[in-house]
Amino acid sequence: MKTLVIHRYKELSNLFVLSLMSISLLAIRLKITHDFYLLFLVWNLFLALLPYAISLWFESSISTSYTNRYIKWIAVPVFAIWLLILPNAPYIITDLIHIRNASGTWLIFDSILIACFAITGSWAGFKSIYHMTNSLISIHYIKGPFVQKALPYLLLFLCALGIYLGRELRWNSWDIIQQPARLFTDTLSIFIYPWSHQMAWLQIIPMSLFLMVLYKLFLQYEAKS
């Protein structure tokens, strides 16, 4: 763990600062207004950080001799769990809809507040995709330059789909265990009957493109840092 913190110090410190700023702004709002309406953002941020934590653990586990013997066995279940919760990271972007409930006095403050949470969650999600992709490449689960480059964008499309399922249809990540049949039916119908789900695609496609553009910018930042 100490080695991981040292190796990822800049990355973890950036994430800590973003999280601290988000929570501090929320604390200021709670202190002044005594309104706990936006407290759910803390829970959403926690969910957004989970895939990042999993990808970081998985990446560090590959380098350990003990785990490396079993990495081929744990890679698939770890990836499946990670993928199920990954949409929680960019999901916070959609919390911007709650700005409509802000009063005129708090409109700008609430916009900045929710945007901070959205930036933190999205950044953690992009880092998570970056780490997971590199990890799968390192253990030769992903082969070929095209697949290696295309996988992150496929994951972002799935994130957009997951965001729609969560925001509009109110599904949660754990519903894959509680109500798998209904969740599968709702998801499959979007693809089988696209014309009957035009509003779904009007949300999924723009969100996919938006996340892909942001991820492209993120990669450029990574290349320079």
- pLDDT of 5: 60
Among 117-126, 149-158, 164-173, the minimum mean pLDDT is found in 164-173
Write down the pTM of the prediction: 0.92
> What's the chain's Rg over C-alpha atoms?
19
At a CB cut-off of 8 Å and minimum separation 6, what does 94 contact?
A: 163, 167
In this predicted model, what pLDDT tens digit does every residue of 3-12 receive, in sequence order?
666 677 888 9
SS3 content of the chain, % helix, strand, coil (to 5): 85, 0, 15
**pLDDT, mean over the chain:** 90
Cα separation, 153 vs 161, in Å, equals 12
What own/partner pairs with CB < 8 Å and gap ≥ 24 does 144-147 have?
A: none
Closest residue by Cα to residue 117 from 218, 43, 36: 43
Closest residue by Cα to residue 187 from 208, 212, 204, 202: 204
Closest residue by Cα to residue 218 from 126, 119, 93: 126
Q: Which sequence spans correspond to the domains of the chain?
A: 2-224
Percent of the chain with pLDDT over 90: 69
Contact 162, 187 (CB under 8 A): no
In this predicted model, what pLDDT tens digit does every residue of 113-130 receive, in sequence order?
999 999 999 999 999 999
1 has a pLDDT exceeding 70: no
In this predicted model, what pLDDT tens digit does every residue of 58-99 receive, in sequence order?
988 886 655 566 777 888 899 999 999 999 999 999 999 999
pLDDT band at residue 176, thresholds of 50, 70 and 90?
confident
End-to-end CA distance of the chain: 23
**pLDDT (average), residues 26-50:** 95
As given in the structure block, the two tokens for residue 2 are 């100490």
Contact 96, 107 (CB under 8 A): no
Closest residue by Cα to residue 75 from 56, 85, 62, 66: 62
- pLDDT of 3: 63
